[in-house]
């Protein structure tokens, strides 16, 4: 299936995969997609997406289509379908 991956506010990830890329995806879930990105794009993608324990870094939020941010516990459960758009965004705080 083909999906679109976007990187917003993550210049290192954008440099590796592009700000917006259409990818052939062979997995099922968002967690599978993250694994595929790390395998395909290597160390730089791993450093940008994952923490030292191999989990999605807490500074990154994931959105599928326009459904809102996914909770961390939903990453391995949220199935993707052909044509989905997945956005990886830097979580920014401030005051």
How many angstroms separate the CA atoms of 95 and 93, rounded?
A: 7
> What average pLDDT does the segment 81-89 reach?
96
Residue 69 tokens read as 């941010």
Mean of per-residue pLDDT scores for the chain: 91
CATH 3.10.20.30 fits 2-90, yes or no: yes
8 Å CB contact between 83 and 75: no
Domain boundaries, the chain: 2-90
CA 36, chain centre distance (Å): 10
Expressed in percent and rounded to 5, the helix, strand and coil fractions of the chain are: 30, 30, 40
Q: Answer whether residue 57 shows pLDDT above 60.
A: yes
pLDDT in tens, 25-42: 999 999 999 999 999 999
């Amino acid at each position: 299936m083909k999906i679109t991956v976007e990187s917003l506010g993550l210049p290192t990830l954008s440099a590796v995969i592009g700000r917006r890329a259409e990818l052939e995806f062979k997995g099922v879930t968002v967690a599978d997609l993250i694994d595929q990105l790390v395998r395909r794009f290597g160390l730089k993608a791993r450093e940008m997406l994952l923490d030292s324990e191999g989990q999605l870094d807490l500074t990154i939020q994931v959105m599928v289509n326009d459904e809102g941010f996914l909770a961390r516990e939903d990453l391995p459960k949220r199935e993707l379908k052909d044509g989905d758009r997945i956005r990886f965004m830097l979580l920014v705080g401030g005051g």
